[in-house]
Amino acid sequence: MSFTLEGRTALVTGSGRGIGLAIARRLLTAGANVMLNDLDEALLLDALAHLPHPERVRHVTGDLTVPTTPTSVVEATLNAFGGIDIIVNNAGYTWDSVIQKTTDEQFQAMLDIHLVTPFRILRAASDYLRSTAKSESANNQRVMRKVVNITSIAGTDGNPGQVGYSSAKAGVIGLTKTLAKEWGRYNVNVNAVGFGLIETRLVQPITGGDATMQMHGHEIRVGLQPAILDSLKDSCPLRRLGTPEEAAGAVLFFCSPLSDYVTGEVLICGGGMHF
């Protein structure tokens, strides 16, 4: 069955690279308008230079953990395209430690980006989504809109060394299931995709010195030792990591008309792997 997202507008957070960029590309290819968002302006400009259909892409830079930014991002999307039909809450990163080494700041940082940020984005969009649905209903129209929150098998299963990340991603599931019940009356499908190990910088093999990323004044280690990465691949039924494009395919399903009668669900895209 074929479908088109022509005339639909999507907001994808954390779309400067990796999975978020792959999701944006999939949505554009399907016909949607897309608002990109990331912390790094340079990443967004590079993404714009390589994405198809640039006439249907806009971008807004901002740190989503700043309380006012989610509202600004939603407003920028409405101003640029006149509406929002799809929201993909993808932005995030990992900052790992076992519990005795996890600081309050570190734990809160994981909650802020993975759980508080999606809450604020969706709260900011709620007035538009509810008022638009009420207007359409008054005209005997039913237009399905989509929310896709990103969780993880660390949130469904837990994962040693990721107490903050796992807690936040578990919270995303509660957020998803609650909003599915609150927003069903407004014809909004609210679902989540839980990723396993996907080929991004966060799980790149460490060769030589430690790979790091800068976040809010902290240098955070990323990547995995090659032996650990190989062991994880061996424990996955498909014996490999997923690609960002495969991850985006699972998200695309929830953004499409194929999922119009699916809500409050969590789809695991992890190659059969469980921690």
Distance between CA atoms of 189 and 259, rounded to whole angstroms?
8
Q: Which residues contact 82 (CB under 8 A, 6 or more apart)?
A: 9
| Closest C-alpha among 98, 113, 116 to residue 162 | 98
Active site residue 165: yes
Q: Active site residue: 93, 165, 186, 261, which one?
A: 165
Residues in the chain: 275
The count of other CB atoms within 10 Å of the CB of residue 125 is: 23
| Closest C-alpha among 259, 267, 30, 253 to residue 144 | 259
Phi, psi (rounded to 5 degrees) for 234: -65, -30
Distance between CA atoms of 88 and 216, rounded to whole angstroms?
23
SS3 158: coil
Distance between CA atoms of 166 and 239, rounded to whole angstroms?
23
Residue 115, H or E segment? none
Asked if residue 266 lies in contact with residue 176, where contact means CB atoms within 8 angstroms, the answer is yes
The conformation of residue 204, written as its DSSP 8-state character, comes to: P
CA 246 to chain centre: 14
SS3 81: helix
Q: How far is CA 267 from CA 59, 138, 274, in A?
A: 28, 33, 13
Query: Which residues are catalytically annotated?
Result: 165
